[in-house]
Structure 1
Amino acid sequence: MTATTSLADTLEVPQDIQNLLFREARTANSFSDEPVSDEQIQAIYDLVKWAPTSMNTQPLRALVIRTEEGKERLLPHMSEGNRAKTASAPVTVVLAADTDFHENLPKTFPHKPDAKDLFADETGREGFARLNSLLQVGYFIIGVRAAGLAAGPMTGFDGAGIDAEFFADRKWKSLVVINVGKPGDNPWFDRLPRLDYDEVVETV
């Protein structure tokens, strides 16, 4: 029995689920032409929406791009190395932070009616939105894995360009662009090493 197997046995969920969500998780760089349905995207969101954020703020917003017209608008804002795989993905999701998230607090944080007033300062609100949206980005990637799909998250893009193209009338700030689908031919780069526990964790 290996050390990894022994550690895996201490966790609550079965090892095959651990592997699906984490150990076998890879960034896909090519995709098959198998479609990703609206129902699959909805199911992913319906799962990840329950994961915690500070004060239940839920500032993450998602733009699902699946049409040729949408891809044509998106591709010029992607870095050169990300364009081909984005063009080939059946679905691309732009994940963004809504800096007006506080408008929903009366609904999502109802036991504190004045919670919205805590975010009157726009500068502080934007940082708060970004932090909690990035938490939700991580949840979203795990949700894609749970759906049996591959995720190709990318930060190589012109965020200001995407925001002007798609979010000009909203206070959404793009954070990560994720290609979603079934992996295609030669989808994986070589597996890179990870830092070990003792290199990362300190106990006091």
Structure 2
Amino acid sequence: MTISKDAIDHLFTNARTANGFIDKPVPLSLLKEVYEIAKMGPTSMNTQPTRYVFLTTPEAKARLLPALSPGNVDKTSQAPVTVIVANDTQFFEHMPVVFPNKPDAKEMFAGNAGLAAGTATRNGTLGSAYFMIAARALGLDCGAMSGFDVAKVNAEFFPDGRWQANYLINLGYMDTSKLFNRNPRLTFEQATQVL
């Protein structure tokens, strides 16, 4: 089955990074719906290391603002929701439930810190990409950001060290007057090799 061109355009071709948002709330029920769709995307060995912290109040956002690069403060303050996308460094504790067909999966990761860290980073980022696509599919606009002090966010929100911040996503409904011009994309020939 192929989805429609309109759906592809909505998710990719015409979708834009949100740099500003209108004043329209995002209900918790919609955030739950986005998660329920995104969690179905594949990760290696079904590890699912992505974690999300939804900042929905001015008080919660005030804790984040000191860690942001100056260019990200206004749009983050304005966004109805800011998501701290994190990786669970101990994701493997859930392996007996999420990957029961390999009984020693938990021990495999627990006994190999490098394997666990690499798996969390790759698959945590992959999971959050599914999250953004699901958010777009349900009518939300996304503004992903890496302009922040990771150590400050980890100290403020994850002092026990188990979750580690990866990047941030502002969510809501785009203020189209604040769109930047679309930047060029690499061509197939520039970005690929066919062997």
Is this a same-fold pair by TM over 0.5? yes
Aligned counterpart in structure 2 of residue 73 of structure 1, from 43, 46, 63: 63
**Deviation digits for residues 113-154 of structure 1, max 9, x if unmatched?**
111011122233112101110111211111111111110000
1:188 maps to amino acid:
L
1:172 maps to amino acid:
W
Separation of aligned partners in 1, 2:22 and 2:175: 4
Moved more, 180-189 or 157-166: 180-189
Match of 1:128 in 2: 119
Aligned counterpart in structure 2 of residue 61 of structure 1, from 35, 39, 51: 51
Deviation at residue 201 of structure 1 after TM alignment: 2.2
Superposition TM-score, scaled by structure 1 size: 0.92
**Deviation digits for residues 156-200 of structure 1, max 9, x if unmatched?**
001111011011125111011000000125131011111111222
Superposition TM-score, scaled by structure 2 size: 0.96
Q: Secondary structure at the match of 2:61?
A: helix
Separation of aligned partners in 1, 2:74 and 2:81: 13
Structure 2 segments unaligned to the other structure (5+ residues): none
Match of 1:111 in 2: 101
Separation of aligned partners in 2, 1:124 and 1:52: 18
Task: Report how many residues are paired.
Answer: 194
1:31 maps to amino acid:
F
**Deviation digits for residues 21-77 of structure 1, max 9, x if unmatched?**
100121111101100011111111100111110000000000000111101101011
Q: Secondary structure at the match of 2:177?
A: coil
Aligned counterpart in structure 2 of residue 144 of structure 1, from 123, 127, 135: 135
- Cα-Cα RMSD: 1.2
Separation of aligned partners in 2, 1:187 and 1:58: 34
Moved more, 135-144 or 148-157: 135-144
Match of 1:83 in 2: 73
Separation of aligned partners in 2, 1:87 and 1:100: 31
Could you tell me the percent identity over the aligned residues?
A: 44
Aligned counterpart in structure 1 of residue 25 of structure 2, from 35, 43, 54: 35
Aligned counterpart in structure 2 of residue 197 of structure 1, from 185, 188, 194: 188
Match of 1:171 in 2: 162
Aligned counterpart in structure 2 of residue 92 of structure 1, from 62, 82, 94: 82
User: Does 2:145 match 1:154?
Assistant: yes
Structure 1 segments unaligned to the other structure (5+ residues): 1-10
Separation of aligned partners in 2, 1:93 and 1:124: 26
Q: Secondary structure at the match of 1:186?
A: helix
